[in-house]
């Protein structure tokens, strides 16, 4: 029942969720692979170990039932303790884990998703998909590669669909100093490392990174952002993975 190929399995589960009217969208590397306008460039290709989804708060119980019906084993203790924010399931035969975030993506920072699940039938919107990669306080090479792959395949603008919605990213960062600090720092890191990836349209990718940084900086900041900004880095502005629903 469960497909050995992780990308095909992600597509299969989305189809089953649509048939069962379960609000379910992909995030993570598999989502970036499926949202690519064609084949990923060799520089951005990688293997995918697991699947990551998000469901609506009102759809969590139906999502849990869907995964059980599709042959996945629930992590009973974890789901009982953290099920309002995140659910875990296992594909034992293929040694694969499935994370299902509920209503929001929460790791180093919290990205609200509940009201945005209907934007695209496959994944969370591209803006939030990029944010889930760049919100990691200790950014790793895999996430840099995925972020650059997303920006290589999609322009930056003020709409959703096949465009990275810079307005959405800027608005979220303008309301949360900690998120702003992490996202802008990681965009700077991506800018610095982009030349090391062998892609034909490198200048375009770098321009999109700079466009995002400009939009984020230009967005008027909220009062709470300004108050938190006065404290700055004297206080930690991100969560550690082990502090978030048991870690990844």
Instruction: Write down the pTM of the prediction.
Output: 0.95
The upper half-sphere exposure of residue 111, i.e. CA atoms within 13 Å in the direction of its Cβ, equals: 29
Closest CA to 22 of 77, 83, 70: 70
pLDDT in tens, 9-38: 999 999 999 999 999 999 999 999 999 999
Whole-number pLDDT of residue 230: 98
Q: What is the mean pLDDT of residues 234-248?
A: 73
Closest CA to 166 of 149, 187, 185: 187
Contacts of 46 (CB under 8 A, 6+ apart): 29, 142, 145
- What CA–CA distance (Å, rounded) separates 29 from 129? 9
The answer to whether 208 and 202 are in contact (CB under 8 A) is no
pLDDT in tens, 106-133: 999 999 999 999 999 999 999 999 999 9
CA 183, distance to chain mean position in Å, is: 13
User: How many other CB atoms are there within 10 angstroms of residue 92's CB atom?
Assistant: 10
Whole-number pLDDT of residue 161: 97
């Amino acid at each position: 029942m469960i497909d050995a190929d992780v990308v095909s399995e992600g597509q299969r589960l989305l189809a089953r969720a649509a048939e069962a009217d379960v609000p379910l969208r992909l995030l993570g590397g598999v989502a970036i692979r499926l949202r690519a306008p064609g084949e990923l460039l060799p520089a951005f290709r990688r293997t995918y170990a697991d699947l990551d989804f998000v469901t609506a708060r009102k759809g969590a119980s139906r999502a849990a039932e869907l995964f059980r019906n599709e042959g996945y084993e629930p992590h009973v203790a974890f789901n009982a303790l953290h099920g309002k924010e995140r659910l875990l399931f296992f594909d034992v035969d293929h040694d694969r884990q499935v994370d299902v975030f509920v209503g929001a993506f929460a790791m180093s920072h919290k990205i609200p998703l509940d009201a945005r699940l209907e934007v695209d039938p496959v994944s969370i919107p591209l803006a939030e998909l990029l944010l889930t990669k760049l919100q990691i306080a200790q950014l790793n090479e895999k996430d840099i590669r995925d972020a650059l792959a997303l920006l290589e395949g999609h322009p930056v603008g003020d709409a959703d669909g096949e465009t990275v919605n810079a307005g959405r990213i800027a608005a979220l960062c303008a309301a949360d100093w900690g998120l702003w600090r992490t996202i802008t720092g990681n965009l700077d890191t991506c800018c610095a490392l982009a030349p090391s990836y062998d892609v034909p349209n490198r200048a375009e990718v770098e321009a999109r990174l700079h466009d995002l940084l400009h939009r984020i900086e230009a967005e008027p900041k909220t009062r709470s952002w300004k108050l938190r900004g006065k404290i700055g880095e004297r206080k930690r502005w991100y969560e550690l993975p082990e502090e978030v629903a048991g870690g990844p």
